[in-house]
Amino acid sequence: MLRRITPPRKSEAAPSAPAAGTSSGTGKGGASPAGAGKAPETTQVLRRVSAPRAGEPGASGTAAASSADAPKPAGRAPGASVPRPAGPDRAARAARAARAAGAAAGASAAATASSAPGSEAATTALAAGATGTGKGGGNGGGTATPTATATGGGKGKKGKRPKRTGWRRIIPTWRMVLGTFVIGVLLLIGLFFVGYSMVNIPPANALATKQANVYLYADGSQIARDTRDSQVNRENVDLAEISKDAQHAVLAAEDRDFYTESAVDPKAMVRAAWNSATGKGKQSGSTITQQYVKNYYLAQEQTLTRKAKEFFISIKLDREKSKDEILEGYLNTSFFGRNAYGIQAAAQAYYGKDAVDLDPARAAYLAALVNAPSEYDVVAHPENKKAALARWNYVLDGMVKKGWLSQAERTGMKFPMPKEQILSTGLSGQRGYLVEAVRHYLITNKIVTADQLEAGGYRITTTIQKNRQDAFVKAVDDKLISQLDKKNRKADTYVRAGGASVDPKTGKVVAMYGGIDYVKQYTNGATRGDFQVGSTFKPFVFTSAVQNGSTTQDGRTITPNTVYDGTNQRPVQGWSGGAYAPENEDQKSYGDITVRKATDLSVNSVYAQMAVDVGPAKVKQTAVDLGIPSDTRDLQPYPSIALGTATASVLDMAEAYATLANHGKHGTYTLVEKITKNGSDEVKLPDATAKQAVSREAADTTTSVLRSVVQSGTATAAQAAGRPAAGKTGTAESDKAAWFAGYTPDLATVVSVMGQDPVTAAQKPLYGALGQPRMNGGGPPTEIWAQYTRDALKGKPVADFDLQLQEGADRIQEPPASSTAKPGTDGGQNGGTTTGDGGEQNGGATATPTTGGTTGTPADGGTTTDGGATTGGGATTDGGAATTGGDTTGRQTADGGGTGSPTTGGQTTTAGGTGGPGSPTGGDTGPGGDIGGGPGT
């Protein structure tokens, strides 16, 4: 505060002049001192002056005061220097001194400005309003000399905010953060209102108006119009016609808080986006309202625009419709698989019930299907049953958690197995199987997406050739279906069949058999992958041996003539993974036996040992290179891989055998020749590429061995094709499936007959089916193959195999005379070959003479006399081949040459039979030569 000063009387002595260094103040409108020695009319004594506080009125006028005018500490002589403050307070002290000096100067100036008597009011005003701003300082050791400047009528300046330096410059201030947040909120609110006002609820996207996808044979004739697009299997029902259990099950599966939440759930959307971004899988953050909007009003594309529309339409729809109406619409538009749109159609397709009659167990399964209709159909995809069960349990647990199902009822619940699909659509017969296979091919090869197919408008020309497709269906009907007696033989109700035929040179699938009828047996027998392939896998083991130059445990190169021990349950040698001693079929032992003969008879003990000699991992890799998918179930690098424990599909096996037929060159199979959109825009297909999967020598040597199987092994029924052929039979564990995989130079075809319970979908043995003791590869599968191949290639010139064999493979050898094989167990040393796939009984060669005939040893070609008859499809190995039931009379060959002349049912050779002298089985060296002299006509 300023102390009021009274002007001195005239009689008082004038104050002494200021000492050197004293600052002078000039009042606003006042005069400077006249000169030294002249006493001013008024003087003032400044005892203590404090700087004015913020907001106090400022003084008018400007004055400068020296440090001499500042109050001095008591006892200090005038003019003595002031000690500098020590420590960090020095600057602060200097600042305070400057402010004090400025205030004093201002007061002095005010007093000076009022130089006449009677100016007390002005002096008081000036003194009261004086404001001083001190400036001073020093750097280092100098004495601070504050200079005070008084500015009349103004306010004191505020100190500037220090500049941010270093890393603090990159951190936003709280003002910046707050400003950004406010702006962002305002922007979002603005965008929301703009979007809400711009997006309207569109007309319904009725599925009935969608275009159909048209599927064509290779010649342009129509296979089917996909009814999922133009003739949707759907029946709309009111919510009251849907059981409460069904309603609750769908809510438990898709949106448990549907009745209490808003139309959209931003938190769920953010969570789903985060889970997808962090690799936890694609998840939906959509409510049931949003899903209904997508199904009923919008397309299915995954775009930001569509999601934004879905967001705003859902909000508007939630204001216009009740929750019950939205749930009803959702249940009537959701896709459940099996061409069923809506829960009513789904209840009929899976259980033959109406939606109102669905109980919790069945309702929970249908609700589970909404998440993945194709994958969770346990009848169509038995291999996915575990995942379907997990989803089913999830739904039921959710119903319990929400109080819609009691825990007691939940505990005793069993999974309700759905029935085989029954459809009354244009996909009956083989058409549905073909359409499904083509759709799967397009989607898995990323040619067209599932959503694009659902949108329709595609015209798809397949590689399926109608004449060959018809021939395949007829062969299955003639050799299998027509012989079933489901009323009197229960095993006949288990019979299923699958087949696929591939052009080896192009990789095109030219025919496919999926089952008896798509609307009766939904599962495609050609593409399913849940039955063991059995001994049809063994050729891959031998191919791998040649490809890798493998040797036996004692260092002998593996060739068709390499001798192995075929003793039943012989422990494999050289395997460090534990003891393994596989059984041969029917527990038969064969003693020392060549690889060729072991292949003819499908000897398990030989091929298990060969797998170890080659290396199970190498065997697996060869199979993959030939065309077997690497993720095939049970395709494991163990010795058992040789026995066909893997569950490849029929189509996969056809692709692999086509690689062998094409001299080791593999081209991925294709089902589509051409595809267009809206009649004109052609969709690009993958380039048809082929690579040498295995060496030609490896593939061709395998072909040579497999020709023996057809001529004198377990597949002699394949001779009925009337063409040079190679192939292998196979039987799954417990006779649950029987296979034949074979090929000519022009066509590779695989046929499988499988056993499956029509109610539970469990795999079943086929003992007693067709009235036979057992089902094996040499029976119906080979017979179907032979008839189909003959008809499919009818009119096409006969082509022979052009083989480049492994060194020494062109000479047929037998084990030395010192063989340890026991009489009667070597399957061909004394009186013909033992039957079966590893001893198959039906279709193998059983050259046991029935009427006085004697069978000679193969040393000189063999001699049959006095009407020896072969039975059960037997085949002689010395110049001619007799078909099933054929009798050979008086037939004799010398030195391995010559041609047989069967008189009843036999086959006369025309292409081969020019083996060299001493060849024990007729030779394989002439043009078109074959084991036993070649196929008959």
- DSSP-assigned letters across all residues of 254-297: H-TTTTTS-S--HHHHHHHHHHHHTTS-------HHHHHHHHHT
Say yes or no to pLDDT of 554 above 70. yes
Q: Report the alpha-carbon angle 928-929-934, nearest 5.
A: 95
The percent of residues in the chain predicted with pLDDT above 90, rounded, is: 45
Among 22-36, 308-322, 600-614, 767-781, the least confident range: 22-36
End-to-end CA distance of the chain: 134
Say yes or no to pLDDT of 867 above 80. no
Say yes or no to pLDDT of 28 above 70. no
Question: How sure is the predictor about 313, in pLDDT bands with cuts at 50, 70 and 90?
Answer: confident
Residue 901 contacts residue 881 (beta carbons within 8 Å): no
pLDDT at 99: 63
For 79, half-sphere exposure in the C-beta direction (CA atoms, 13 angstrom radius) is 4
Torsion-angle region of 153 (φ positive above 0: left; ψ -120 to 50: alpha; else: beta)? left
SS (H, E, C) 170-209: HCCCHHHHHHHHHHHHHHHHHHHHHHHHHCCCCCCCCHHH
- Greater pLDDT, 194 or 414: 414
pLDDT at 112: 43
Give the mean pLDDT of 440-452: 91
The tens digit of pLDDT for each residue in 702-739 reads 999 999 999 999 999 999 999 999 999 999 999 999 99
- Name the β-bridge partners of 132: 150
SS (H, E, C) 477-499: HHHCHHHCCCCCCHHHHHEEEEE
The percent of residues in the chain predicted with pLDDT above 70, rounded, is: 61
- Residue 228: CB atoms within 10 A of its CB come to 24
Q: Report the alpha-carbon angle 125-128-134, nearest 5.
A: 125
Residue 349 contacts residue 423 (beta carbons within 8 Å): yes
Say yes or no to pLDDT of 280 above 60. no
Question: How sure is the predictor about 563, in pLDDT bands with cuts at 50, 70 and 90?
Answer: very high
- The Cα 714–Cα 597 span in angstroms is 11
Distance from chain centroid for Cα 761: 26
- Name the β-bridge partners of 147: 135
**Coil, strand or helix at 647:** coil
* Burial grade of 276 (CB within 10 A; 0-12, 13-18, 19 or more): middle
pLDDT at 771: 93
Residue closest to 782 by CA, chosen among 820, 727, 836: 727
Distance from chain centroid for Cα 740: 31
pLDDT at 628: 97
Which of 511-542 are b and which e, b meaning 16 or more Cβ less than 10 Å from the residue's Cβ? Answer: bbbbbbbbbebbbbbbbbbbbbbbbbbbbbbb
- The Cα 920–Cα 858 span in angstroms is 5
Residue 308 identity (one-letter amino acid): A
**Coil, strand or helix at 121:** helix
Say yes or no to pLDDT of 60 above 50. no
- Greater pLDDT, 373 or 885: 373
Question: How sure is the predictor about 425, in pLDDT bands with cuts at 50, 70 and 90?
Answer: low
- Greater pLDDT, 314 or 846: 314
Give the mean pLDDT of 350-360: 92
- The Cα 655–Cα 743 span in angstroms is 11
Torsion-angle region of 273 (φ positive above 0: left; ψ -120 to 50: alpha; else: beta)? alpha
The tens digit of pLDDT for each residue in 750-794 reads 999 999 999 899 999 999 999 999 999 999 999 999 999 999 999
- The Cα 375–Cα 615 span in angstroms is 35
State which H helix or E strand residue 95 sits in.
helix 90-113
Supply the DSSP symbol for 902. Answer: -
pLDDT at 206: 55
pLDDT at 752: 98
Between the CA of residue 81 and those of 18, 20, 89, 145, what are the distances in Å? 16, 13, 19, 11
Supply the DSSP symbol for 569. Answer: T
β-pairing, 340-341 with 233-234? parallel
Residue 607 contacts residue 833 (beta carbons within 8 Å): no
Helices (H), 378-455: 385-401, 407-411, 431-444, 450-455
Give the mean pLDDT of 325-333: 89
- The Cα 335–Cα 373 span in angstroms is 7
- Greater pLDDT, 509 or 342: 509
What is the residue whose two structure tokens read 């295995």?
A: 694
pLDDT at 839: 38
For 388, half-sphere exposure in the C-beta direction (CA atoms, 13 angstrom radius) is 26
What is the residue whose two structure tokens read 């060729």?
A: 596
Between the CA of residue 157 and those of 27, 67, 323, 475, 831, what are the distances in Å? 20, 22, 66, 106, 124
With a CB cutoff of 8 Å and minimum separation 6, the contacts of 847 are: 831, 832, 833, 855, 870, 874, 875, 876
Residue 564 identity (one-letter amino acid): Y
- Greater pLDDT, 426 or 131: 426
What is the residue whose two structure tokens read 């008024």?
A: 42
What is the residue whose two structure tokens read 């599932």?
A: 450
Give all strands (DSSP E) within 340-421, no chain letters: 340-341
Residue closest to 800 by CA, chosen among 725, 732, 728, 859: 725
- Name the β-bridge partners of 869: 887
Residue 843 identity (one-letter amino acid): G
Question: How sure is the predictor about 4, in pLDDT bands with cuts at 50, 70 and 90?
Answer: low
Residue 923 contacts residue 895 (beta carbons within 8 Å): no
Residue 724 contacts residue 744 (beta carbons within 8 Å): yes
**Coil, strand or helix at 327:** helix
For 656, half-sphere exposure in the C-beta direction (CA atoms, 13 angstrom radius) is 30
Joined tokens for residue 817 = 């005379």
Among 88-92, 225-229, 255-259, 382-386, the least confident range: 88-92
Q: What is the pTM of this model?
A: 0.57
- The Cα 878–Cα 887 span in angstroms is 15
User: In degrees rounded to 5, what are phi and psi of residue 515?
Assistant: 160, -175
The tens digit of pLDDT for each residue in 94-115 reads 556 556 555 554 444 444 444 4
pLDDT at 876: 34
Supply the DSSP symbol for 570. Answer: P
* Burial grade of 908 (CB within 10 A; 0-12, 13-18, 19 or more): middle
Say yes or no to pLDDT of 90 above 60. no
Among 292-301, 355-364, 380-389, 805-814, the least confident range: 292-301
pLDDT at 156: 52
- The Cα 883–Cα 869 span in angstroms is 11
- Residue 208: CB atoms within 10 A of its CB come to 9
Residue 419 identity (one-letter amino acid): K
pLDDT at 305: 65
SS (H, E, C) 730-799: EECHHHCEEEEEEECCCCEEEEEEEEECCCCCCECCCCCHHHCCCCCCCCHHHHHHHHHHHHHCCCCCCC
Q: Which of 294-303, 582-591, 740-749, 844-853 has the highest mean predicted lDDT (pLDDT)?
A: 740-749
State which H helix or E strand residue 254 sits in.
helix 244-254
- Residue 241: CB atoms within 10 A of its CB come to 15
